[in-house]
């Protein structure tokens, strides 16, 4: 079985500030960090760091070549990443004194993927392979349909959530990863009522597994009437960027290693907890030996 992450590849510029900037305000930053990011690249790195062979597909400009070098260093195969003459995706990240973050995205190559490129990538993979998707690239519905026709199992993290997500062929998804805000929007339920959100999502998507992450509240799993829950580790929080991507990669990896759902939840929660105790996104993701 091969694992394909078809998603965003970004250059992250992180500014450390007293508070998140408000409209019309100019504030000083106490620090600046340039690093690799994008939910797709982060999840590919997490899968690779967890010990799985993983393929990355996406689109970058010449300014993003260092991102592929970094992914390769983790063991990610980047042969399916497309180069073009435009800019690589960018993320401007604010982190305040309370370690909360705000993120501005520029799509770049992530929003320049074409339908023809999608089909060329999907043809490399076979029935039973796994594809991991996020909501940061263009033609997402076409990717899902092509993957479904090819017999790939689909994991989907609908982040950042927009109403356009509801227009996607969500019935093709085998495994959803949502946080409490995304889950509540998809379930049309209050975000604070997490068990009810999970119940509504499993009712809406009866053939899918649902992972609902809730920050300090841990994570919840639902499939039919099956429920699991995992707590987070009590660690000093340094940087929350990439925590959800770390959870996603490690949960998938744990299940591929034949761990039970409960054990996979606990491993993924441990990995995400370790990630938030470190600066950065991709580089903060722990190695398999720290988690399993």
Per-residue pLDDT of 237-260, as tens digits, reads: 887 878 999 999 999 999 999 999
Question: Which residues on adjacent β-strands are paired with residue 130?
Answer: 3, 153
- Looking at the structure of the chain, the number of domains it has is 1
Residue 277 and residue 284: Cα distance in Å, rounded? 8
pLDDT, tens digit (0-9, with 9 covering 90-100), for 165-210: 999 999 999 999 999 999 999 998 887 788 899 999 999 999 999 9
34 pLDDT band (50/70/90 cuts)? confident
Cβ-proximal residues to 224 (8 Å cutoff; 6+ apart), any chain: 202, 206
pLDDT tens, 91-135?
888 989 987 888 888 999 999 999 999 999 999 999 999 999 999
Q: Provide the token pair at 87.
A: 């800019």
Q: Which two tokens stand for residue 142?
A: 């076409």
Q: Which pLDDT does position 236 carry in this prediction?
A: 87
Range of the domain at 249: 3-291
Q: How far apart are CA 71 and CA 47, in angstroms?
A: 11
CATH assignment of the domain containing 283:
3.40.1190.20
Residue 75 per-residue DSSP state: T
With CA atoms as reference, report the closest residue to 157 among 205, 210, 105, 201: 210
User: Please, are residues 263 and 224 in contact by the beta-carbon 8 Å criterion?
Assistant: no
């Amino acid at each position: 079985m091969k694992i394909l992450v078809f998603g965003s590849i970004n250059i992250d510029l992180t500014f450390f500030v007293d508070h998140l900037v408000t409209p019309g305000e100019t504030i000083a930053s106490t620090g600046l960090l340039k690093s690799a990011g994008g939910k797709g690249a982060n999840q590919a790195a997490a899968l690779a760091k967890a010990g799985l062979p993983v393929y990355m597909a996406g689109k970058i400009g010449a300014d993003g070549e260092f991102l592929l070098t970094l992914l390769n260093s983790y063991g990610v195969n980047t042969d399916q990443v497309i180069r073009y003459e435009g800019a690589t995706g960018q993320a401007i990240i604010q982190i305040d004194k309370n370690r909360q973050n705000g993120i501005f995205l520029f799509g770049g190559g992530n929003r320049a993927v074409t339908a023809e490129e999608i089909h060329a990538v999907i043809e490399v993979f076979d029935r039973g392979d796994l594809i991991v998707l996020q909501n940061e690239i263009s033609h997402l519905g076409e990717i899902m349909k092509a993957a479904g026709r090819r017999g790939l199992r689909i994991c989907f993290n609908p982040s950042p959530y927009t109403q356009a997500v509801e227009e996607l062929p969500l019935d093709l998804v085998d495994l959803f990863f949502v946080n409490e805000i995304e889950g509540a929007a998809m379930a049309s339920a209050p975000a604070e009522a997490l068990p009810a959100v999970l119940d509504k999502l499993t009712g809406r998507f009866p053939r899918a597994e649902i992972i609902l992450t809730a920050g300090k509240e841990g994570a919840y799993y639902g499939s039919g009437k099956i429920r699991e829950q995992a707590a987070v580790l009590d660690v000093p929080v340094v940087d929350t960027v990439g925590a959800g991507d770390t959870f996603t990669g490690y949960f998938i990896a744990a299940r591929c290693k034949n761990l039970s759902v409960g054990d996979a939840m606990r491993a993924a929660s441990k990995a995400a907890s370790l990630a938030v105790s470190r600066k950065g996104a991709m580089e903060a993701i722990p190695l398999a030996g720290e988690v399993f």
